[in-house]
Structure 1
Amino acid sequence: MQEYISYKNIQIAFTVEGKGKTIVLLHGFLESSTILKNVVSAFKETHQLVTIDLLGHGKTEKLGYIHSMETMAETVHAVLAELKIEKASIIGHSMGGYVALAFAEKFPQQLEKLILLNSSTVADSEERKENRDRAKRLVKQNKQAFISMAIKNLFTYENRNALRTEIDALVEEAVQLPEENIIASVEGLKNRKDRTEILQQYSGEKIIIAGKNDPVVPFKEIEAIAEKTNSTFISFEDGHMSYLENKVELLKVLNELF
């Protein structure tokens, strides 16, 4: 059931299912808390699953002109405080991974396991920042075309056909987002800092899951980060959307971790 808390005069949307140790699921850019529903279904008999709509996504409102990773981490902390959860594991997909890293920096004592799914610790390169600025212009010119292209390009070429129904559903949900919400998150992504050292210093269990053909997070780069930060490294064959492209394999890995 959808629940809400008030945070700095806006509503943060979240759901809670199951009982046991807590797993928090954080979605990526242009997604919502519904993306990992198969993980919720698989674990709700043994764990408490908390899914959160990050700022400006799903049913959570916009907060200011920039949705920084730090501010989003604070909203996650606020939800856990409301639920009186003292310790939780976090699975963060893409942007959700950046938020999880910001959470690890601000609230390390509350974190049990940190799982980065198709995510990274590094900041945007100058080229990537230019691409973010281009994205903001595209959103203003034609939001629907931008969203359709952005989501489709996260999948491998083969999976764009095989998972057409799922892609269409993601696009349909994302086009409901107001233009200013999308731009606020693009700004937050563009300005995020490098948190490789934060992951390196984090003493809890840390896992990085990557796609060998991820068009967003370079595989070799993330493999090197895993080694540098002493993180367990797990790879799948496909792209940036492992929760759809490698659904069965991902659940198998999570079953072993939890």
Structure 2
Amino acid sequence: MNKNITFKNANLSFSDEGKGSTVVLIHGFLENSTMWDTIKPELSKRNRIITIDLLGHGKSDCLGYVHSMEIFAEAVEAVLKHLKLRKFILVGHSLGGYVCLQIAKNNPTKIKGLCLLNSTSNEDSEERKKLRFRANKMIQNNFTNMVRMSFVNLFGEESRLKFKTEINAALQEALQTPIQGYIAANEGMRIRENSNAVLLENYFKKLIIAGEKDPVLDVETSLQEAKKTSSEIVVLNGGHMSTIENKFDLIDVLLKFIN
């Protein structure tokens, strides 16, 4: 059952289930905390699992038209403070990984472990920044088609057929994202800085989970990043959406990381 707090006059929605080591799960762009529903039951058997709807996603409100990683992190930290959490493990998918890096930068002594799931500590390439800028212009007149196209493109042809039902359910959640939430998050990702140092300069456990066929994050770049930042890396055989494409393998990897 979801709970709520107020942050800067905005509603923040979160859930808190299970007992044990505290694990905070942060969803990605055009997702919300329901993305974890397929793996949360296993993780919460022996752990306390916190899921949070980021600003402008799910049941959480927007704050303006730029959600920087700093403001995303501040909102998540408000929930963690409300829950009086002193130590925790962070797991962030895609955009959620960028937010987790900012939280770790702000609170390094509170972090027991950080997992980047289909995510990176690298900043956007210049080409990707231009794509985000263009998308924010186009989304205002063509929201449904833009979301549908960008979401489906996260999956390879084989996955689109194999996980058709799951992809459609996730797409329906994505389409609930308000246009303002889309624009604010996309701009925040566009202007975010490189966070390699957060991984390299801290001693908490670090794990990168990459997709061998990820169309967004090249697996070779992820392997280089892991080496550069002294992070462990696990490569799954799917693409960008490991909770759908590699659910059981992902659960195994996360449980080993948590424990």
The answer for the alignment partner of 2:173 in structure 1 is 173
Q: Deviations over 1:220-249 (max 9, x none)?
A: 111101011111110011110011101111
Residues in 1 aligned to 2:231 and 2:224: alpha-carbon distance in whole angstroms: 10
Q: How far has the Cα of 1:138 moved from its partner?
A: 2.4
Q: How far has the Cα of 1:137 moved from its partner?
A: 2.2
* Residue identity in the other structure for 1:98: Y
Residues in 2 aligned to 1:166 and 1:144: alpha-carbon distance in whole angstroms: 18
Q: How far has the Cα of 1:165 moved from its partner?
A: 1.1
Q: Deviations over 1:104-124 (max 9, x none)?
A: 111111111100000001111
Q: How far has the Cα of 1:100 moved from its partner?
A: 0.5
Matches within 5 A, 1:16-35: 16-35=16-35
* Residue identity in the other structure for 2:211: G
* Residue identity in the other structure for 2:238: D
Larger mean Cα displacement after TM superposition, 86-95 or 35-44: 35-44
Secondary structure, counterpart of 1:116 in structure 2: strand
Residues in 1 aligned to 2:54 and 2:154: alpha-carbon distance in whole angstroms: 20
1:109 aligns with 2:109: yes
The answer for the alignment partner of 2:76 in structure 1 is 76
The answer for the alignment partner of 1:196 in structure 2 is 196
1:229 aligns with 2:229: yes
Matches within 5 A, 1:105-144: 105-144=105-144
Secondary structure, counterpart of 1:38 in structure 2: coil
* Residue identity in the other structure for 2:94: S
The answer for the alignment partner of 1:61 in structure 2 is 61
Secondary structure, counterpart of 1:176 in structure 2: coil
* Alignment length (residue pairs): 258
The answer for the alignment partner of 2:13 in structure 1 is 13
RMSD over aligned CA atoms reads: 0.9
Residues in 2 aligned to 1:76 and 1:242: alpha-carbon distance in whole angstroms: 23
- Asked if 1 retains the 8 angstrom alpha-carbon contact of 2:39 and 2:247, the reply is no
Residues in 1 aligned to 2:39 and 2:171: alpha-carbon distance in whole angstroms: 21
How does the TM-score come out when normalised to structure 1?
0.98
- Asked if 1 retains the 8 angstrom alpha-carbon contact of 2:213 and 2:240, the reply is yes
Residues in 1 aligned to 2:137 and 2:165: alpha-carbon distance in whole angstroms: 28
Gapped runs of 5+ residues in structure 2?
Answer: none
The answer for the alignment partner of 2:163 in structure 1 is 163
Secondary structure, counterpart of 1:51 in structure 2: strand
Secondary structure, counterpart of 1:60 in structure 2: coil
The answer for the alignment partner of 1:153 in structure 2 is 153
Residues in 1 aligned to 2:43 and 2:221: alpha-carbon distance in whole angstroms: 31
Residues in 1 aligned to 2:33 and 2:176: alpha-carbon distance in whole angstroms: 15
Q: How far has the Cα of 1:254 moved from its partner?
A: 1.6
Secondary structure, counterpart of 1:193 in structure 2: coil
Secondary structure, counterpart of 1:140 in structure 2: coil
Q: Deviations over 1:89-146 (max 9, x none)?
A: 0110000000000111111111111000000011111111110012112211210101
- Asked if 1 retains the 8 angstrom alpha-carbon contact of 2:57 and 2:178, the reply is no
